[in-house]
């Protein structure tokens, strides 16, 4: 099974499925949470043909050939789309992968330790390197991302990490998500340290990097099927700007957000360009 794209309109998705079915190619649709639905190609041998047709469909989803296919296939359709009931844990697993879940678990355990009397010890081991001796403790370049200092802080970050990181891991694999986590934790941490020193923590910089990555890949290589809803992008960019005013006296690692977004966008553009170059050569 190959994931083609995530869409927010299941009726449009069904029209595309019906059209491909009329050409003898099976595409399936499955809910992914947050009001989105994934289109999945069953047989890889049809990938190039289906992706090309998908781009044409996205440009003109109401074209007559798609509407006619839905009408013709309505009576013969055997697969019925429905919303399965499932528990919270199963929903988490189905919309993510081992890297997504592992990072969430480490963040939760770290947060619990901070508020069970081990705060100073945990922070001293995991914060971004500050003193001369700490410069060689390379784990600190990444572990600062696991530190959270309030319930709102960790809930907000882990929710977006699950949505964005899970989407990337489901689409591009665990190795890709791990690579992105390490690179963007490093870049966002360096940016924040350069402007405000080592007293910061949290997944926000990484989350903004995931946003930038998905946004750029979806924009420059839509055929890859990895995208983000414009409303999500708008909300996160608005919050990025608001953060610089530190509303309600909140201490916000704004430069981590900014450098995270920029690093994610850069990696996303590079991946999109490489993907398009590879297709031209094949």
What's the rounded Cα separation, in Å, for the pair 168 and 172? 6
* Greater pLDDT, 148 or 23: 148
pLDDT higher than 70, residue 81: no
Mean of all residue pLDDT scores within the chain: 86
DSSP β-bridge partners for residue 7? 37
pLDDT higher than 80, residue 253: yes
Q: By the 8 A CB rule, do 251 and 257 touch?
A: no
User: Is residue 99 classed as helix, strand or coil in its secondary structure?
Assistant: helix
pLDDT higher than 50, residue 79: no
> Which residue in this structure is represented by tokens 């949470």?
33
Average pLDDT over residues 47-60: 87
Average pLDDT over residues 82-86: 49
Long-range contacts of 30-34 (CB under 8 A, 24+ apart): 31/83, 31/84, 32/6, 32/95, 32/167, 32/170, 33/91, 33/94, 33/95, 34/163
* Greater pLDDT, 251 or 200: 200
User: What's the token pair of residue 277?
Assistant: 């170059």
For 70, 127, 184, the CA distances from 77, given in Å and listed in that order, are 9, 56, 45
Catalytic residue among 95, 204, 223, 263: 204
Residue 83 pLDDT level (bands cut at 50, 70, 90)? very low
Catalytic residue among 127, 153, 171, 257: 257
Domains 2-73 and 88-281 share a fold: no
pLDDT higher than 90, residue 241: yes
For residue range 172-189, list pLDDT tens digits in order: 999 999 999 999 999 999
> Which residue in this structure is represented by tokens 């990484």?
206
Long-range contacts of 130-138 (CB under 8 A, 24+ apart): 130/197, 130/198
Nearest to 164 by CA among 30, 13, 2, 32: 32
For 8, 59, 281, the CA distances from 35, given in Å and listed in that order, are 6, 21, 36
pLDDT-wise least confident of 20-29, 102-111, 245-254, 267-276: 245-254
- Residue 102 is among the residues annotated as catalytic for this protein: no
For 20, 72, 134, 204, 266, the CA distances from 1, given in Å and listed in that order, are 15, 25, 46, 32, 29
Question: Looking at residue 114, what DSSP letter applies?
Answer: I
Q: By the 8 A CB rule, do 178 and 206 touch?
A: no
Q: Please report, for the chain, the start and end positions of each structural domain, with discontinuous segments joined by +.
A: 2-73, 88-281
pLDDT higher than 70, residue 34: no
Give, rounded to a whole angstrom, the gap between the first and last alpha carbons of the chain: 21
CATH code of the domain occupying 88-281: 1.20.1540.10
Residue 2 pLDDT level (bands cut at 50, 70, 90)? confident
Note the pLDDT of residue 74. Answer: 57
Note the pLDDT of residue 61. Answer: 80
User: Is residue 201 classed as helix, strand or coil in its secondary structure?
Assistant: coil
pLDDT-wise least confident of 68-77, 241-250, 265-274: 68-77
Q: How many CA atoms lie within 13 A of 37 on its CB side?
A: 19
What's the rounded Cα separation, in Å, for the pair 45 and 90? 31
Residue 89 pLDDT level (bands cut at 50, 70, 90)? low
Residue 111 pLDDT level (bands cut at 50, 70, 90)? very high
pLDDT higher than 70, residue 90: no
For residue range 195-234, list pLDDT tens digits in order: 998 889 999 999 999 999 999 999 998 888 888 889 999 9
Q: By the 8 A CB rule, do 158 and 206 touch?
A: no
Its sign, for the CA torsion 213, 219, 221, 223, is positive
Percentage of the chain exceeding pLDDT 90: 44
- Residue 263 is among the residues annotated as catalytic for this protein: no
pLDDT higher than 90, residue 275: no
Options 2.60.40.1180, 1.20.950.20, 3.40.50.620, 3.30.70.2350; which CATH number does 2-73 get? 3.30.70.2350
């Amino acid at each position: 099974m190959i994931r083609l794209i995530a869409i927010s309109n299941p009726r449009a998705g069904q029209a595309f499925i019906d059209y491909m079915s009329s050409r003898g190619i099976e595409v399936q649709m499955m809910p992914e949470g947050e009001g989105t639905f994934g289109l999945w190609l069953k047989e890889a041998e049809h990938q190039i043909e289906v992706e090309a047709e998908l781009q044409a469909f996205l440009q003109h989803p109401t074209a007559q050939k798609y509407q006619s296919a839905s009408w013709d296939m309505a009576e013969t359709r055997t697969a019925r789309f429905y919303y399965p009931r499932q528990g919270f844990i199963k929903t988490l697993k189905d919309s993510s992968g081992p890297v997504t879940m592992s990072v969430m678990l480490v963040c939760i355990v770290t947060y619990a330790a901070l508020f069970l009397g081990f705060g100073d010890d945990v922070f001293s081991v995991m914060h971004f390197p500050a003193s001369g001796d700490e410069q060689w403790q390379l784990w600190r370049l990444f572990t600062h991302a696991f530190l959270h200092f309030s319930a709102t802080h960790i809930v907000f970050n882990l929710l977006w990490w699950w949505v964005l990181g899970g989407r990337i891991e489901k689409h591009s694999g665990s190795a890709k998500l791990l690579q992105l986590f390490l690179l963007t934790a490093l870049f966002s941490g360096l940016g924040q340290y350069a402007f405000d020193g080592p007293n910061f923590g949290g997944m926000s910089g990484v989350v903004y990097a995931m946003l930038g990555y998905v946004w750029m890949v979806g924009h420059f290589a839509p055929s890859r099927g990895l995208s983000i809803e414009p409303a999500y992008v708008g909300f996160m960019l608005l919050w990025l700007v608001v953060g610089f005013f530190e509303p309600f006296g909140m201490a916000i690692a704004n430069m981590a957000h900014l450098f995270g977004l920029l690093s994610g966008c850069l990696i996303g553009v590079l991946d999109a360009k490489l993907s398009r170059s590879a297709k031209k050569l094949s």
